[in-house]
Amino acid sequence: MKFTIPTQELNAGISTVIKAMGNRTTLSILEGIYVEATWNTLTLRCTDLSLQIETTLPASVTEEGACVMPGRLFSELARRLPDVDTSVYTEGNTVYIESGRAKTNVQSESPEDFHCMPPVKEEYTVTLEQGKLRSMIRQCIFASAQDESKPILTGVLLEMRPEELCMVALDGYRLALRREPILSGGEDKDAVIPARSLMEMGRMLEDRADAVKIIFSATHVMVDMGHTKITTRLLDGEFIRYKQILPDGHTTRVQVNRQELLDSIERVSLMAREGKKNHIRFSFQPESLTLSANSEIGSSTEELGIHLTGSPLEIAFNSRYFTDVLKVLEDDSVILDMNNNISPCVVSPVQGQQYYYLVLPVRLFTA
């Protein structure tokens, strides 16, 4: 194997795939980076057998071949090479790396021993704008469960419909739902993707209008971004029937400035965090919302203007669960729908149905 590539491009490619590299695995070869040079193309691949990232880069290839490089060492070396072209060639199991005045040789492993995830046999494909998929992931994934007590909730549900993709995550305390129109699709299909894999996908996507494909098989899904492909296993099992827990009406509706509400909650929550519980009281009146928190060392209160229709209400929430929602949104104003102080609050847009968030309240604390 022998190829030459600009160091910046090599470093960018390694930085992309290394996110899926195995860490302290029983298969030591998975702690490496698969490198293959073929026909003026360099392919880099990493996997931990639950997530796989592969990227292709243009390179000047004079001798085709493949090897598995020590992952961390190759990554650290590439980041420190001079900003010129880098040449890589092999003699047996030894890989020689030359860039400017820097010359290094490294022992590699056989590419035949590298374990790849199986190719995704296309059974169902959804196509949508890259920026929209990135936004959906960002605005939904935070609500997935962190613990493994209910493994299915550590994933995010994708509901594919002929004209729409819906993404749902919940952890027992809040629910996040995002909808976007798709460019192409097919019949109805549901799948659950591990949140960790979806997060890596979101980090690689850009806020652009070009299309990406989400390709499903019975057991795996692949996001095809062109030069980069991300493959992950689907989670087994049936996702919680979340529609059964969604409120079907409201007695109190509030329209409020999103940024003002976020800023106020963050200020008041400084005092809430000094107490035993991170709870904030929301007191909704016809034209105002009063936020308050108490702790052993003091109290904090803040008032902001709102537009309320329906009944005044006093209710309490974990401040982090509320700010997690407000931080990922971009709308100037949002709608809060509630029924009483023990039923969930629904956060939705002033117009449309692009998103739907549900936050469970906590029992009112003593003032």
The mean pLDDT value of the chain amounts to: 94
CATH of domain 2-113: 3.10.150.10
Is a pLDDT exceeding 50 seen at residue 295?
yes
Identify the residue whose tokens are 């092999």: 90
d(CA 158, CA 135): 14
- Contact (CB, 8 A) for 51 and 197: yes
Please write the tens of the pLDDT for every residue from 198-245.
999 999 999 999 999 999 999 999 999 989 999 999 999 999 999 999
| Residue 198 pLDDT | 95
Residue environment code for 31-50, b if the CB has 16+ CB neighbours within 10 A, otherwise e: bbbbbbbeeeebbbbbbbee
Is a pLDDT exceeding 60 seen at residue 24?
yes
Look at residues 103, 111, 192, 201 and name the one whose alpha carbon lies nearest to residue 152. 192
Domains 124-243 and 246-359 share a fold: yes
Length of the chain: 367
**For residues 32-57, average pLDDT:** 96
Is a pLDDT exceeding 80 seen at residue 305?
yes
Is a pLDDT exceeding 70 seen at residue 164?
yes
Please write the tens of the pLDDT for every residue from 49-103.
999 999 999 999 999 999 999 999 999 999 999 999 999 999 999 999 999 999 9
**For residues 317-337, average pLDDT:** 96
Q: pLDDT band for 267, please (50, 70, 90 cuts).
A: very high
Cβ-based burial of 165 (10 A; exposed 0-12, middle 13-18, buried ≥19): buried
Domain boundaries, the chain: 2-113, 124-243, 246-359
Q: pLDDT band for 367, please (50, 70, 90 cuts).
A: very low
Highest mean pLDDT: which range of 177-191, 261-275, 306-320: 306-320
Q: What pTM did the predictor assign?
A: 0.90
**For residues 29-48, average pLDDT:** 96
| Residue 147 pLDDT | 87
Cβ-based burial of 102 (10 A; exposed 0-12, middle 13-18, buried ≥19): middle
Sequence-distant (≥ 6) Cβ neighbours of residue 294 within 8 angstroms: 271, 275, 365, 366, 367
| Residue 22 pLDDT | 85
Strands (E), 162-287: 164-170, 174-181, 189-194, 211-216, 220-224, 228-233, 252-257, 279-284
d(CA 109, CA 128): 39
Four-CA torsion 90, 93, 97, 103, nearest 10 degrees:
-120
Give the other-Cβ count within 10 Å of 208's Cβ: 12
- Contact (CB, 8 A) for 282 and 289: yes
d(CA 44, CA 34): 6
**Is pLDDT larger for residue 363 or for residue 196?**
196
Q: What are phi and psi of 158, to 5 degrees?
A: -110, 120
Pairing of strands 355-359, 345-349: antiparallel
Is a pLDDT exceeding 90 seen at residue 246?
yes
Give the other-Cβ count within 10 Å of 261's Cβ: 23
Look at residues 311, 304, 331, 308 and name the one whose alpha carbon lies nearest to residue 254. 308
Strands (E), 71-138: 85-91, 94-99, 102-107, 124-129
Q: pLDDT band for 26, please (50, 70, 90 cuts).
A: confident
Is a pLDDT exceeding 90 seen at residue 323?
yes
Lowest mean pLDDT among 17-31, 153-167, 349-363: 17-31
CATH architecture, domain defined by 124-243: Roll (3.10)
> Of 3.40.50.300, 3.10.150.10, 1.10.3720.10, 3.30.1330.10, which CATH number belongs to 246-359?
3.10.150.10
Pairing of strands 252-257, 333-338: antiparallel
